[in-house]
Amino acid sequence: MKVTLFSLFWAATSALPSPLMQQNDIPPFFLLAGDSTTATQSSGGGGWGDGFINTTLYSGAKGLNYGHDGATTVSFRAGGDWATVLSKVKEYKTDYRAFVTIQFGHNDQKASNNISLTEYTNNLEQFATDVKDAGGTPILVTPLSRRNYDNSTGTPVVIQDLADQRAATIAAANKTDTAYVDLNKASTDYLNSIGPADAYTYNLVPDDHTHLNVEGSQVFGGMVAGLIDQVFSELKSDEYVEVNSTLLTALEEGKYYWP
């Protein structure tokens, strides 16, 4: 079997079986919770969320992006955003299969927010439990890699400054028997493969190596969709979540893609 760059990404997704395999006639509704690396593109941020919703959902599948700039696992709950997401789970679960993607870490790790790694992990565990209690299916997402490179050896390599948050997200998923997708590993491997010059074309503005422009949102939104399809294979087989074939090939081969 041919082993490609992106095929290695698939191995990093949760192997939990989908509890919804017998409900394939019911389309999914995705509610996206997260920080600016999930959020809609704006002057101050932008992530993979809109690319995922606008370019990978078909056959009645829908989604809403609740990610926003500056959000942490603490502020997202304290500010009422999490209550809104849970209310939408309850609203849509009758007519849809309600999924909630949960991706934080970029702001939780900042010292100014005073959130320990233990608190971050506990907060993710509680988010997953809340979604299940509301009747939805949580998907924990490890944080999107920043596009900062270390070139000290002559070969640019992505600086893995979210490694602790990646590990904590996976630990929270395992602790709560929750599905997860390892976007951090997938995005890091892809960025290492294409190199900094191409990676920077996805920047929201030239010197922003964290947030994504519209094209970057489509690329990494497609990456998220591909990872989700590996965990919930019925979403792909029933043509609810599909990745553009050219993009998928580029991701599998670790080659640069521009929509």
Report how far residue 191's alpha carbon sits from residue 144's, in angstroms, rounded to the nearest whole number: 11
> Are 58 and 237 contacting, i.e. CB atoms less than 8 angstroms apart?
no
Pairing of strands 157-158, 149-150: antiparallel
Count helices and strands (H / E) in the chain: 11, 7
The model's pLDDT over 2-35, given as tens digits with 9 standing for 90+, comes to 334 455 454 555 545 444 444 578 999 999 999 9
What pTM, to 2 d.p., does this model score?
0.93
CB atoms within 10 A of CB 58: 12
* Residue 44 pLDDT: 85
- Comparing CA positions, the residue from 123, 117, 161 lying closest to residue 143 is 161
Query: What is the domain partition of the chain in residue ranges?
Result: 5-12+28-253
Q: Which CATH architecture does the domain made up of 5-12+28-253 adopt?
A: 3-Layer(aba) Sandwich (3.40)
φ and ψ at residue 197, rounded to 5 degrees: -60, -45
Q: What confidence tens digit (pLDDT) does each residue in 95-128 have?
A: 999 999 999 999 999 999 999 999 999 999 999 9
